[in-house]
Structure formats: structure tokens, C-alpha cells
Amino acid sequence: MKLSWRIILLWTLPALVIGFFLWQGTFSSAGGDLGRNTASTRMTYGRFLEYLDTGRVTAVDLYENGRTAIVEAVDPDLDNRLQRLRVDLPTNAPELIAKLRESEVTLDAHPPRKDGAIWGLLGNLVFPILLIAGLFFLFRRSSNIGGGPGQAMNFGKSRARFQMEAKTGVLFDDVAGVEEAKEELKEVVTFLKQPERFTAVGARIPKGALLVGPPGTGKTLLAKAIAGEAGVPFFSISGSEFVEMFVGVGASRVRDLFKKAKENAPCLIFIDEIDAVGRQRGAGIGGGNDEREQTLNQLLTEMDGFEGNTGIIIIAATNRPDVLDSALLRPGRFDRQVIVDAPDLKGRIGILEVHARNKKLAPEISIEVIARRTPGFTGADLANLLNEAAILTARRRKEAITMAEVNDAVDRVVAGMEGTPLVDSKSKRLIAYHEIGHAIVGTLLKDHDPVQKVTLIPRGQAQGLTWFTPSEEQGLITRAQLLARISGALGGRAAEEEVFGDAEVTTGAGGDLQQLTSIARQMVTRYGMSDLGSLSLEGQGGEVFLGGGLMSRAEYSEEIAFRIDEQVKRIAEHCHQEARQIIRENRMVIDRLVDLLIEKETIDGEEFRQIVAEYTHVPEKEQYVPQI
């Protein structure tokens, strides 16, 4: 309400100023004797002289130093009634006064009043005063709200959030799935709490720790846990808050931040998304960014320069370590680089247990089963998964989360929202053959991941989906597994060709073809899994801003490029023929599975394998048993 009154007053000030000047003009024009004696009718100077010559003028009152006259005259057209007429007199007419005296006309002169000048002076003073007061009010209001022009003089001040004892509500017990990173950072906390344990043997406190990992793995959460455990002053800031459009502002903010940190040492500084300010210097099209580079130079100096900073530990987080300047990563600035990667099965179980503390789960819920279904999920993904399951439970008016809600939540997180089921038609049957083709090839290939579910329920852009779940935590992938994945991706296209013919092949395999082409090309150019031999012909790929230039230089000759394309094509054709052979040899079970899928719209993996086992041998696949 207070702010609304300010806005009203802000809009009222200009209206008050305009109204004041209108009132001043009206008063100055009507405030003297002329205003009180203004005639309603004007008369020209020539007609006034005619009236004067004919003796019709009886009295004349002069105003404004003789520039205006109020004339009393007899008008014969109005039965000789007396009228008061206003006449504008010329500036140079000295004979007029003599002529008025000769005609024995009553003449009176009225000097100008002084109040008009006073009001003009007041008006000239009031407007600047109101303008200055309004600007002062705007600056003060912006400063109170927390931004805008009120902080024009505070550009160089650090915007870091400061807490004498950070009460984040997060401790190391609340962080799961990153045990190695926790152990590294627990030592930092111990350094701050009991430095004598380390200084007694000559160890020095690390100056910085860089948390590196994909988005959502818990880097910021770890920083909150460090702040909650350490019990020392804590500064937190984002890398983007250093950089402004004005050169030198970021460097000034770095200086101010470390000045405050020195005053509160020992303390912690957390810089989130440090890649916003720590990118490699002197790279990019047309040179680097002067403001960012000056900010980075100041940050490097403050972290490990001539003076040094004793008792200040810097924790930084990024998911782009490849773009950081090498001077920032060296020991002495960031002594430790802590990898915070996606959790394994044991880590996912721990994360799910943490996020399930405030969730009401049904007795049949198995945290281990959920963890097995979610390979590659980060901590943020798992938290979102349980939250989506809780939302679905509330929407369905259930009292506790069941596996049905968890499975639907996994599908929604991975593939998108559930669409309207397809009507029974030729298109639905074609999609069913496509999905069964993926599933049957993946099931009958020994090195392929087992099928978890086949469904015709649309999700996102997909009209149908076949889910595969890895049987183990895969770190290294064999050549046989890569070839099996390519064959499985081609299973849908192979089923369309074998069942409906080449003329009825659809665009549904577009995403599958992109996936298998990428896998086959990496097998040839990066992993040495082709007839070209054990050669790595392509790197990870660089960025233009890293100074690599606009055009990437070819790392091999045109002859090698031709042979690469030939090898990629050979791998794809081999896997395509293998998939078509599996479809041909198992046409009977495929038809049965398609009819069942159209009827039920979803077949789970165990039922799928049981039906396939009735017609052919299903190869044994290793089941991963975690050590928990």
C-alpha cells in the first residue's frame, strides 16, 4: 500500500506543476484592475477614432502603460445606450491624448500592479524546486526497493549474499549419491574447524575447490551443505553478477568481495556458475571480452597474487570446465577439482531415500526397483521424479504413492506428457509392428539391454515407445553391445519393410536412423572399431569462442573421409540385414504380440519375454546385483 501511494504521488506531481502554471497565467492576466474592468466587446482603433470625431466617446480608461483602453461610448444602433468597449491602442500615438483633451473626454490612466512580477518570480522558483524534489523522491524510492537509479553509485560494490553463520538447512547427511565428493569437501570443513590437526604436520589449508559435473548432480547442494557444516562466515554469489556492460565494474566488485572476506576471515566464498566470468582469455571472434577478462584477471590476482589471502576458501561450481582459463585451474587457486557426476545405482538409492523422507509411500514401493529403472538420472531428476509421483497420487485421490504413479512419473519425465490413445486403424497397427520390431530384436540379441515395456500410448512427439533398461551399471561398452543397439534401433524399420513392404515404410524411424548413424560413426572415427584400424580420427569437437576459428580443420584426407563413410554404411547395412532376418524368422510371434499390444496398449517386459519364449529361445542376459 505504501508503494501504491508513492506511485500515485509520482503521477500527481506533473499535474500539480501544470495546474500551478495555468493558475498563475490566469491570475496574472486577470488579477489587476484590467481584469476587473474587462469589456466584453472589442472595437478597432479606426472605429474608435470615428466615434471620437463624432463625439460619441464619453470616457477613456488607459491600462498597461497606454497599450489598452476601456472606452465608454454611445452607440446609435442600440438606441444611444452606453457601452464599454475594449480598444488596443498603437504604441506611438502621442496625438491621441491631445485629441481626447480637445474632445473633453474624461481620461484616466491606471498604472500596472506589481503582483504579476511577484507571481512570475514564484513560478520560476517553484518549478525547479518541484522538479528536484521529484527526482530526489525517485532516487530514494529506487534505492529502498533495491535496484535501479538508487544504486547508480554502488556499481562497484559486491552483490554477494553474506551470512555470519550460514543457516542453509542443509547438512552433509542431506546429500547422497556423491560420497567421494563429500569426503573431499569434509576435509575443507575440518580445516576450518580444527586447523591445528593439519598445521601440526605442515599441511596448509587448500585455497579453493572446483565442483565439476553435469547440471543437476548436486554441486550447489554440496555448497549449501559446506556452509551449513562449517559454521564460519559465508559469501555466495553467481559468476554472472560480476560482469556488467561497463568495463572495470566486475573487477571492482571482485576487489570489494575479497576486502569484505578478509575482514571476516576465516570464511568461505561460493561462486556459482564460475564459467560466466572464468572463460578462456583472448579467444573468440574479434578478440575477447574486455570486461570479463579484466574481471577474471582481478579474480586471479585476489585468489593467488602478490598479497595472498589467508583463511579464505573459495568453492566454485561449473558444468563447463572445458571453457575455463588454464590460469584459473592451476594449483594455488583451485587446489582441488571435485568431480560431481551422475550417481550409480547405490547413489540413486541413497538419493531416493533422502527425498522419500517427506513422501508417503505405499508398503509395496521398492526404492531399489525405482533406482534400477532410472539409470543416468541425476539427483535433481530423482527429486523431480518423486515430486511428479506425489502430484499424480494427489490427482488420483490416493492416500499413498504406489508403483503405478512412480512408473507413470518416470515415463512423463523421460518422454513427456501422455497423449490421447490412438484409435484402432491401419496407422495404429503399423505403429504396433514398428514398436514390436524394436522389442523383438532387442530381446533376441544377447548383447542388447532387456525390454522393460512396449506401449502404444503417445508421449511427447512419439506415437509409441519401447523402453529398454540396462541390466548393469555400464561404464565401458563393448563393440558387440554397440552393434546390438544399432540392430535394435533398426528393428522398427525392418518390421515395416518385412510386413508392409518398401512402399509402406514411414517416417517413424527418423530418430532411430540419427541415433544409429551417430553410434556407427563414433565406432569408426573415435573407438577404432572398424577395418580402418585402431585410429582416433575425430576429437570431441571444439567451440568457436575457444579460438579454434570459424572453419574446423580436417584431421584426415579426402580418401580417409570416403573410407569412413564406407565403413559407417557397412556397419549400418550389416545390422539392418540382421534385424530383417530376426523379423522374418519370428513373424508368427510378432503377429501375436501385435494383436495383444493393440488390445492392451501396453505390454511389460516380463510378459513380453514369456510370450517370445513360447516360440523361440530367448538368450540369457546377465542380471546386475548391486553390492549395497
Average pLDDT, integer, range 273-284 = 80
Residue 99 in domain: yes
CATH classification of the domain holding 203? 3.40.50.300
Q: Are residues 300 and 361 in the same domain?
A: no
Q: Which amino acid is at 618?
A: V
Average the pLDDT over 613-623 and give the result. 76
Per-residue pLDDT band at 165 (split at 50, 70, 90) = low
Q: Among 94, 112, 130, where does a domain finish?
A: 112
Q: Is residue 488 a part of any domain in this protein? A: yes
In degrees and rounded to multiples of 5, residue 455 shows phi and psi of -140, 150
**229, 273, 293, 435: which one is catalytic?**
435
- Grid coordinates of 289: 571480452
Please name which of 539, 540, 541, 543 lies closest in space to residue 323, comparing C-alpha atoms.
543
Is residue 353 part of the annotated active site? The answer reads no
pTM over 0.75: no
Window from 102-116, 431-445, 521-535 with minimum mean pLDDT = 102-116
Identify whether 22 is part of a domain.
no
pLDDT score of 474: 67
For residues 327 and 351, membership in a common domain is answered with no
- Minimum mean pLDDT range among 1-10, 303-312, 361-370: 1-10
The domain that contains 571 carries what CATH number?
1.20.58.760
pLDDT tens by residue, 400-415: 999 989 988 988 888 8
Q: Which of 313, 339, 365 is the last residue of a domain?
A: 339
What is the tally of structural domains in the chain?
A: 4
Q: Domain containing 68 — which CATH number? A: 3.30.720.210
User: Do 411 and 430 sit in the same domain of this protein?
Assistant: no
Indicate whether 392 belongs to any domain. yes
The pLDDT value given to residue 570? 95
Residue 153 belongs to some domain of the structure: no
Q: pLDDT at residue 542 above 50?
A: no
Main-chain dihedrals φ then ψ at residue 238, nearest 5 degrees: -95, 150
In a domain, 421, yes or no: no
> Which is more confident, 530 or 150?
530
Amino acid type, 546: L
Residues 320 and 354 in one domain: no
Among the listed ranges 184-193, 428-437, 604-613, which one has the minimum average pLDDT value? Answer: 184-193
Q: Are residues 325 and 360 in the same domain?
A: no
Asked if the structure places residue 2 within a domain, the reply is: no
Instruction: Flag whether pLDDT at 437 surpasses 90.
Output: yes
Same domain, 201 and 331: yes
Locate 84 and state its grid cell: 464599454
Assess whether pLDDT exceeds 60 at residue 548.
no
* Residue 378: domain span: 345-415
Q: In 120-147, which positions are buried (b, 16+ CB within 10 angstroms) versus exposed (e)? A: eeebeeeeeeeeeebeeebeebebeeee
> Is the CA virtual torsion 457, 459, 461, 464 positive or negative?
negative
Q: How far apart are CA 357 and CA 386, in angstroms?
A: 11
Confidence band of 564 (pLDDT split at 50, 70, 90): very high
Of 289, 308, 339, the domain-final residue: 339
Confidence band for 284, pLDDT divided at 50, 70 and 90: low
- Which pLDDT score is estimated for 547? 44
Average per-residue pLDDT for the chain: 79
Grid cell, residue 326, equals 588454464
Q: What confidence tier does 577 reach under pLDDT thresholds 50, 70, 90? A: very high
| pLDDT for position 543 | 46
- Where residue 403 sits, what CATH number does that domain have? 1.10.8.60
Mean pLDDT score, 561-579: 94
Residue 5 has what pLDDT?
46
How far apart (Å, rounded) are the C-alpha atoms in residues 210 and 34? Answer: 85
Do 410 and 274 belong together in one domain?
A: no
pLDDT attached to residue 64 = 73
Instruction: Give the cell for residue 254.
Output: 571482485
pLDDT tens for 365-414 read 989 888 888 888 888 999 999 999 999 999 999 999 999 899 889 888 88
Scanning the structure block, which residue is given the C-alpha cell 474608435? 48
Answer yes or no: is pLDDT of 545 > 50: no
As to burial, measured by CB atoms within 10 angstroms (0-12 exposed, 13-18 middle, 19+ buried), residue 349 is: buried
Q: Write down the residue that cell numbers 515395416 correspond to.
A: 496
Q: What is the mean pLDDT of the segment spanning 157-167?
A: 66
Place of cell 495546474: 19
pLDDT value at position 425? 77
Residues 587 and 443 reside in one and the same domain: yes
pLDDT category, 473, cuts 50, 70, 90? low
Q: Record the cell numbers describing residue 294, joined without a space.
A: 579484466
Same domain, 181 and 63: no
pLDDT for the residue numbered 435: 93
Query: Residue 1: which pLDDT band, with cuts at 50, 70 and 90?
Result: very low
Are 387 and 526 within one domain? no
Amino acid of residue 621: K
Q: Is there a domain that residue 420 lies in?
A: no
Cell of 408: 507413470
Q: Which has the minimum average pLDDT: 348-352, 411-415, 499-503, 543-547?
A: 543-547
Choice between 7 and 589, residue whose per-residue pLDDT is larger: 589
Residues 246 and 385 in one domain: no
My answer on whether 288 and 330 are in the same domain is yes
